[in-house]
Structure 1
């Protein structure tokens, strides 16, 4: 079975990989033929750095976890899906008996098995066996490409949920990458009247401005807190979503925040950052953190189907499966204006 394999840091190959023989279809599983897989920043980081934090690639690993496809086989006890159903898949499989899962916190179950997170293989390959309970049927009006965006969108929806967005809130999203933009879309869908988005890439900011009541701020030319305070009569924003993963962005989260505001950290910080407790205290800021998502995939699919959220503008380039290595090389170069690149597998 041909797959995109990360052999070691900065070395990818498309080659036969004998994983299918190890994937036994259980009674509550489905076998899915992959159609579209998005390239995530974590995939790229594994490619360029060979790992992240405690997750280090120590053996060849198949990449990819943002996926959609078609059910081609079902387990004996599956009743929610049938052969031919189009689906998107939640890539993290928790231990159903763990304390975290029983508390409803399955995304932070220490035993969760997540696609393309060492040592678990990803899905840039022809097919995968996956639990039916974590595979979601697509409405006819949601394309495979949109469905492969459900995984990153789930991060934004989870973040908006953690922020407890209230109708009319004003928010700031730091970082206009894929996660930043789906977070902005989620904030608007949740009720924000206006969302500021900051970045240094004009092309991404121009795209952001077309997505709704979104105001771009280029922090290479504009001082973020000054711009926000000027636009809000000195009050600030009720919510700050930190999506950049950049220390400078994370260190300044309280400066544009209103009294009683909420901060949600989403972007991964590789190293410890400066955290100004004094600025947080005088605002009585509430601070939340996001690790992936939980209980939001059906909501995301429903919003795509209803038109409440449109992710199509975020898909900036699609590659054929045979171009996968080149696709990752382009993704690693951080090409200006690129948001979400996807790979379409042979059908």
Structure 2
């Protein structure tokens, strides 16, 4: 069975891979036939750089972790899912006995096994075996494409939860990529009256403006802090979500923040950044950090089903599985206006 394999930095192959024959279905596992897999920025970074931080690709690895599919086999003790159920999957499996997991912080369990994070293989392959506990049945009105967006959406919902959004808050999202836009949608769903979104890509900002009460700011053309202060009568926003992963954006998070405001760092910083403690102190800013998500997948599925959040406009391009290598080449080129690219698996 073919899989999309990262052989080494900048070298992908669509080839037979033996993992399919090694995965037995345990008593509380299900086997899932993949339908749709999203291309994440981390997948692209592994492709272009061969690793990130402590996670380095040292052997061929299957990519992909944003996924939906159909249950084709169930373990003897599975009670909530059956063959034929449409599902999405939370890609991280923690150690149930770890201290982090036992206190509810399973996403920061050092032993978590996360798809497409070395040395764990991802899901750009025909089937995968996964625990029932991290596999979620889809309502009839949630498509496979939307379901494959639950994983990035979970980051935004987790961030909005960490920010403790209050009804009527104003927020700024720095970065209009997939994570920035799902964070903006999550902030609005959580109660924000308006969200400002900043970026340098006019096409992405134009898309952002169509998603709800969102004010786009092109930071290549105007000063972000000045624009926020003008729009808020000099007060600032209650929440700043840093989603760009860009050092300049991260270093300026306190400038548009109101007194007593909250900052949530989401975008990964490759290098150390300048952090202005004085600006944080005079505002008594509260600062949070996000690493993936925890306890939010069912909430995300419910919001997609109810219409509280609509991710369909964020899906800007689809590729067939046989074009996976080309899909990653396109994604790595970072074309303007593209938000989420997805790969459709053979059915």
Q: TM-score, normalised by structure 2?
A: 1.00
Aligned mates of 1:162, 1:120 — CA distance in 2: 28
Q: How does 1:1-347 map to 2 (within 5 A)?
A: 1-347=1-347
* Per-residue Cα deviation, 1:34-72 (whole angstroms, up to 9, x for no partner): 000000000000000000000000000000000000000
- Structure 1's unaligned 5+ residue stretches are none
Aligned mates of 1:20, 1:209 — CA distance in 2: 43
* Cα offset, 1:141, TM superposition: 0.1
Say which SS state the counterpart of residue 155 (structure 2) adopts: helix
* Per-residue Cα deviation, 1:126-167 (whole angstroms, up to 9, x for no partner): 000000000000000000000000000000000000000000
- Structure 2's unaligned 5+ residue stretches are none
Aligned mates of 2:113, 2:275 — CA distance in 1: 31
Aligned mates of 2:134, 2:292 — CA distance in 1: 15
Say which SS state the counterpart of residue 325 (structure 1) adopts: helix
* Cα offset, 1:22, TM superposition: 1.3
Say which SS state the counterpart of residue 80 (structure 1) adopts: coil
Aligned mates of 1:154, 1:305 — CA distance in 2: 15
* Per-residue Cα deviation, 1:245-299 (whole angstroms, up to 9, x for no partner): 0000000000000000000000000111000000000000000000000000000
Aligned mates of 1:113, 1:170 — CA distance in 2: 36
Say which SS state the counterpart of residue 327 (structure 1) adopts: helix
Say which SS state the counterpart of residue 222 (structure 1) adopts: coil
Aligned mates of 2:127, 2:24 — CA distance in 1: 12
Consecutive aligned runs of 4 or more in structure 1 exceeding 2 Å deviation: none
Aligned mates of 2:93, 2:297 — CA distance in 1: 14
Aligned mates of 2:178, 2:22 — CA distance in 1: 33
* Cα offset, 1:20, TM superposition: 1.2
Say which SS state the counterpart of residue 47 (structure 1) adopts: helix
Equivalenced residue count is 347
Say which SS state the counterpart of residue 278 (structure 2) adopts: helix
* Cα offset, 1:21, TM superposition: 1.5
Say which SS state the counterpart of residue 323 (structure 1) adopts: helix
Q: TM-score, normalised by structure 1?
A: 1.00
Aligned mates of 1:4, 1:74 — CA distance in 2: 25
